[in-house]
Amino acid sequence: MTTIGEKTADYATFIDDLVGALTGFDNWSDADSYVQNDGTGKTDDEDGTEWHNNGRVLEDTNTGTYLLLYLHHSRFDNHDNDDVSGVRLVYSSDWNTSEHYPAGDTNIGNADANDLTNNVGFQLRDSYTDVVTQSYDRYNGSTYGIWGSSNSLNRDVLRGTSVSYIMSVNADGFNIGLWNDNDGNNGIACMTVFDYLGSRFFDDPSVPFLAATRTSFRCHSVAYGFNSYWSQSRTFDVDAVGHGSAPLEAADWGIINPSSEDDTFFFRYPAVYKNTNQSVPVAYLNEAVPNDAQEGGAHGDDFTHDGTSYKVFKQSGASRNNVVSAGLRNE
């Protein structure tokens, strides 16, 4: 496992850090050399292709999927005109290397870059049959990402925007805690995981990964493979890992024994479900466990269970009061 302790850098460096860590494992590799994080694309984005020069795309042979990372601002809620800015994560079951687009099943939504929404024919609404979107979410389907601002920033600004983050990467995926303390009006916090579910409870034909994003600003999503998808555009108990209507449960506890003589940390591994009504459990999430915002550990605390180490992520960002809180796998 590769870990990056607390680091402050711009988004362009963050992408390089994540890609460099992932490609250190044999199952992750560059999938398309045309997509580069060099920032040479047009800043006005007139042709919609600027994302090609502000991201990377990798292939993961464990899950049989492709992961596109690109700098983006996403309109996740049309009702209140809410945006987030940061790194959008697009996963797909295939990749078109001649046209340089995601292919097969994808999580492309109508808040992605225009070039993607116009040229990728099979999008989130086509790939999933079990979908739950809540409150004012308008099914934009572009919430999975790593977000540090609650506003709309174009890519040339994003490249130089500083954020703080911790990161833990392994062959099975990654977990990331990122926050923005520099922007008092728009800085937010985010926790994002991608987890290869190599040990499932039964032989399920669904693609074996769990992808989840939680933020301190109304933008949350969970997906199990290309089987079930949930998103939410309202702030609620963001110290939970999942949600009662998602293919990932909130999980219990994440608390420290209140006794001054015993600092045992109590938690339960979050279960991943095949469906959003949580009737068919398929695996346990490995990358994150609950940490109660009031009775759990403080940011930066470490604990170990059954040989696995976790580091507490607990941040809100400069513009929020509620915190995103979890124990992130950190070996």
In this predicted model, what pLDDT tens digit does every residue of 203-249 receive, in sequence order?
999 999 999 999 998 788 999 999 999 988 776 667 789 999 999 99
Q: Is the pLDDT reported for residue 75 higher than 80?
A: no
pLDDT at 140: 58
Phi, psi angle pair for 22, to nearest 5°: -65, -45
Q: Is the pLDDT reported for residue 259 higher than 90?
A: no
DSSP assignment, residue 50?
Answer: G
What span, in angstroms and rounded, lies between the C-alpha atoms of 244 and 236? 12
What's the pLDDT tens digit per position in 122-172?
999 899 999 998 655 455 567 899 999 988 888 888 999 999 999 999 999
Write down the residue that tokens 């990749």 correspond to. 95
Confidence of residue 276 (pLDDT cuts 50, 70, 90): very high
303, 265 Cβ separation under 8 angstroms: yes
Proportion of the chain above pLDDT 90, given as a percent: 68
221, 144 Cβ separation under 8 angstroms: yes
Of the candidate ranges 95-104, 255-264, 266-275, 304-313, the one whose mean pLDDT is the lowest: 255-264
> Greater confidence, 136 or 88?
88
Proportion of the chain above pLDDT 70, given as a percent: 92
Confidence of residue 25 (pLDDT cuts 50, 70, 90): very high
The DSSP secondary structure of 78-147, one letter per residue, reads TTTTEEEEEEEEEEEEEEETTTTEEEEEE---TTS-HHHHHH--S-HHHH-SEEEEETT--S-----EEE
Q: Is the pLDDT reported for residue 42 higher than 60?
A: no
Confidence of residue 258 (pLDDT cuts 50, 70, 90): confident
pLDDT at 41: 64
pLDDT at 235: 61
